[in-house]
Amino acid sequence: MLLGELIPKPKVGLGIDIRGGVLCHALLRKVFGRIQLLDWGIDELPAEEKDAPELLREKLAGLMARLPRRPGFIAAGLPRRFVAMRSVNMPAVGEEELKGILDYEVERHVPFPPEEVHYDFQVLERDAEKATVLLAAARKEEIGRYLALLQEAGIKPTTIGVSTFASLNALFYNQERGTEPLSALVDLRDGEAELGLAKKGILRSARYVAVGPGAPLDVLVPELVALLGHVEANGGPQAGRISISGTGAGRGDLLHHLAERTGLATEFLHPLRRIRAEGVDPQIAHALGAAVGLALNGLVSLPLDIDLLPKELAPPRSDPSRAMTFRLVALIMALGLTYLINDAVRERRALAELAATVDRVQAEAAKVEQLKGEVASLASQIATLETIDREEIRKLDVLRELIQILPKGVILTLFGVDKREVRIGGTIPGSASDLISIFEQSPLFENAQFTSPVAQRGAEGQEFQVKAFLEAGRPAPSPERSRGADVKGKRP
């Protein structure tokens, strides 16, 4: 699932209200919890053609063609005069159990044979023992005729509501349901009126009244007084408000007379109070009440949710709370996965940095080992050089000592030092036998001996070869030492 699929997309709902020769529509869009009016219209049909289906079909087709956005929800309102409504007390059981009971008892509560009607119900109130159920039913013939008109214009509704309920939904949505102790709605158009009465946001009555083209107050006031009297007789509140809507309600004197006759505050309905709307004349906005209430279907949760669309034509209903829960769960999972991925990325980066550090340390360690090898090599070379230097110094010391102790005229033809062993050879003008004692008297030598017999070389003297050893642990004599002094020191 892509992240964009987790973000709720804008919802667009279209409400169509056809009553009393007037076609009203409202197109709403919901984005991030805010509702905006995208398009609206109040189209009055000519009096002589208001019942002509061809003209209405043409206007509906034109309406769909010019909409700025394609609606995902289309709710059409069935006029209240075609709908039978009852408030029924039922056992406090679940929705499925209630439906099963009503399937058997619907004929007791509607004036039509059960096989000729479509019905829907809604629980208005419930306690531990009983439930007050709103039952609404309409003939299949009327619904079929209405659907055929819409479908021929290319419209496939997702909901068939009831005009009075739609107007009340618009009223409740804009005034926050339950804020008024008593809410009365009067929708007037073309000689007919629809009356709705709610107590603390709960529907108590919805009626259709034919008022005729004359003075509507003569019909409306008795009906309203009777409704209010019924509520008061049952312990209802005395205070409340009457909202007037519809194309026939555009007279200010009607508000004044209703307030005077009923004792309640009166106003024109404000269906767009909580909806962002531009370019709508406040003097006619009340006529859009039912269309706005219908367009809210699918966008928000409504207090009156009656749908008379045949089940075989109804699209599958989705629970908004379940869809939102799914989106939230999916979003949480996506965020968790993102966190885990980020954590893994951070760990991978840390591991890469650690590996780079180890490589760097290993490279430096290799350099250190190389330097240690070079240092060891240099130390060996230095030791060798020192050894050579010591040996060369030792040879010089030995040679210096020989120069000091050998008699004058001795010619050396052989000289070598190998560790402690010293070998010399040459000729001596006198007797070579004195050489052994000379070596013995030197503090540097010991164990002197001839390595070959002494040979006479005529007048030149005697030829000799002597081997002696350097005394262990005895330092070489200094250059300044005289031979005589050394001889004295060596003699007993």
CA 363 to chain centre: 43
Strand partners, 424: 415, 466
Nearest to 429 by CA among 456, 402, 467: 456
Determine the Cα–Cα distance for residues 186 and 207; give it in Å rounded to an integer.
10
| Highest mean pLDDT of the ranges 244-253, 255-264, 288-297 | 288-297
| d(C-alpha 137, C-alpha 90), whole Å | 17
Tell me the angle at which helices 217-233 and 252-262 cross, rounded to the nearest 10 degrees. Answer: 40
Specify the residue for token string 């997702």: 158
Which domains does the chain possess? 3-317 (3.30.420.380), 397-490 (3.30.70)
For every residue of 381-407, DSSP letters joined together read HHHHHHHHHHHHHHHHHHHHHHHHHSP
Report the SS3 class of residue 110: coil
- What are the pLDDT digits (tens) for 412-442? 889 888 888 889 999 988 888 888 888 888 8
User: What would the mean pLDDT of 272-295 be, rounded to a whole number?
Assistant: 91
For 141-155, give one letter per residue: b (16+ CB within 10 A) or e: ebbeebbebbeebeb
DSSP 476: P
228, 231, 236, 238 alpha-carbon torsion, rounded to 10°:
10
Count of Cβ atoms closer than 10 Å to residue 426 Cβ: 18
Token code pair at residue 180: 């008024």
**pLDDT classification of 482: cutoffs 50, 70, 90:** very low
Read out DSSP for 341-372? HHHHHHHHHHHHHHHHHHHHHHHHHHHHHHHH
Q: SS3 breakdown of the chain: % helix, strand, coil, rounded to 5?
A: 45, 30, 30
Residue 224 near residue 194 (C-beta atoms within 8 A): no
Mean pLDDT of 456-477: 77
Give me the amino acid identity at 77. G
> Model confidence at 341, in pLDDT bands (50, 70, 90)?
confident
Whole-number Å distance between alpha carbons of 427 and 431: 10
Distance CA 121, CA 87 (A): 10
Task: Give exposure, 63-89, as e/b (b: 16+ Cβ within 10 Å).
Answer: bbeeeeeebbbbbbbbbbebbebbebe
pLDDT above 60: residue 386: yes
* Per-residue pLDDT reduced to its tens digit, 136-191: 999 999 999 999 999 999 999 999 999 999 999 999 998 865 567 788 888 888 77
Q: Which two tokens stand for residue 161?
A: 């509501």
In angstroms, rounded to a whole number, what is the distance separating the alpha carbons of residues 109 and 401? 148
Query: Rounded mean pLDDT of the chain?
Result: 82
Cβ neighbours, 10 Å, residue 468: 23
Higher-confidence position of 458 and 26: 26
Task: For CA atoms 152, 158, 161, 167, give the dihedral sign.
Answer: negative
Look at 200-204, 264-268, 336-340, 479-483 and tell me which has the smallest mean pLDDT.
479-483
Cα–Cα distance, 373 to 201 (Å, whole number)? 95
Q: Pairing relation of β-strands 159-162 and 182-189?
A: unpaired
